């Protein structure tokens, strides 16, 4: 329970507000499809998760450094 | 009204996929103190794993035991999923291998040097032979298989 109450960063608060906002918008405009979106945001906010794939998240590396050992590191083929 | 809806949906995509900033509270600090995995900085990497600044052409492992290096970020869900698995493996194989962790947000230069585009990225470093990189979260059984085959040559 404690981990859900801690680490309220800006993105998490925005997700919470977006979830509430979408919920209100869905009810007011009677576009109930938005309730799903509201639910998704609220769950993301409560459980503090982002929308990565199941296996991993993409990240953009800093472009100031050339890659080392590029030809020597092999791809693991499990 | 539809335009507002589309605009909100676009905003949703941006917010939904946004990165979460680093978590640096006291609870995390306490958890880190109990960890069996080893957090690496660039300086540690250069002395314990490979000095890519002095020797950028040829891979030369500097450690005395094989190693697993986990490139991760605190905002990455799959990284959080494998973190306890790596802790368990560190406890099980503690005397045979090192399990290092590199925070790609804190060590951006290190991540860039190894061309990390997907996290978690797992680098398996045997004592002899070429290191092998795996992308994405793996189940514990796959980790054990990789440790036995790549690192311990069983």
- In the annotation, is B79 catalytic? yes
- Give the residue-averaged pLDDT of B109-129: 92
Q: Domain segments of chain A: what residues?
A: 2-47
Instruction: Give per-residue pLDDT as tens, A10-69.
Output: 778 888 999 999 999 999 999 999 999 999 899 888 876 666 777 788 776 666 568 899
Tell me the C-alpha distance between B116 and A59, whole Å.
7
Global ipTM:
0.73
Instruction: Give per-residue pLDDT as tens, B40-81.
Output: 999 999 999 999 999 888 999 999 999 999 999 887 888 989
- Checking if the pLDDT of B139 tops 90, the result is yes
Across the interface, of A6, A18, A34, the residue whose CB is closest to B27 is A6
Residues A2 and B26: beta-carbon distance below 8 Å: no
Rg (CA), chain B: 18
- What is the architecture of the domain spanning B36-151? 3-Layer(aba) Sandwich (3.40)
Q: What is the DSSP letter of B91?
A: H
Across the interface, of A14, A50, A76, the residue whose CB is closest to B75 is A50
Per CB-CB distance under 8 Å, the chain B contacts of A78 are 134, 138, 142, 145-146
In B, residues 30-49, which contact A (CB 8 Å cutoff)? none
pLDDT: is B49 or B4 the higher one?
B49
Nearest to B114 by CA among B98, B99, B97, B135: B135
Tell me the C-alpha distance between B135 and B120, whole Å.
6
Interstrand relation of A74-75 and B132-135 (parallel, antiparallel or unpaired)? parallel
- Checking if the pLDDT of B26 tops 70, the result is no
A55, B136: Cβ pair inside 8 Å?
A: yes
- Give the residue-averaged pLDDT of B95-121: 91
Q: Domain segments of chain B: what residues?
A: 36-151
pTM for the structure as a whole: 0.69
What pLDDT does B138 receive?
92
Tell me the C-alpha distance between B125 and A76, whole Å.
11
* Helix pair A33-47, B2-16: axis angle to 10 deg: 20
What pLDDT does A8 receive?
76
What pLDDT does B28 receive?
45
């Amino acid at each position: 329970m404690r981990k859900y109450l801690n680490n309220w960063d800006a993105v998490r608060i925005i997700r919470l507000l977006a979830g509430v906002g979408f919920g209100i918008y869905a009810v007011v405009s009677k576009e109930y499809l938005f309730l799903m979106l509201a639910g998704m945001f609220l769950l993301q906010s409560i459980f503090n998760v982002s929308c990565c794939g199941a296996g991993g998240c993409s990240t953009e590396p800093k472009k100031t450094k050339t890659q080392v050992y590029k030809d020597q590191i092999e791809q693991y083929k499990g | 009204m539809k335009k507002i809806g589309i605009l909100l949906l676009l905003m949703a995509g941006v917010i939904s996929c946004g990165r979460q900033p680093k978590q640096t509270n006291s609870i995390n600090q306490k958890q880190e103190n109990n960890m069996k995995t080893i957090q690496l900085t660039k300086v540690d990497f250069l002395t314990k794993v490979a000095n890519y600044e002095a020797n950028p052409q040829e891979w030369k492992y500097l450690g005395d035991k094989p190693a697993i290096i986990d490139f991760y970020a605190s905002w990455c869900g799959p990284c959080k999923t494998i973190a306890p698995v790596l802790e368990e493996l560190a406890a099980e194989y503690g005397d045979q291998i090192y399990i290092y962790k590199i925070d790609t947000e804190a060590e951006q230069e290190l991540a860039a040097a190894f061309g990390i585009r997907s996290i978690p990225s797992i680098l398996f470093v045997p004592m002899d032979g070429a290191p092998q990189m795996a992308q994405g979260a793996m189940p514990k059984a796959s980790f054990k298989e990789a440790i036995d085959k790549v690192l311990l040559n069983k």
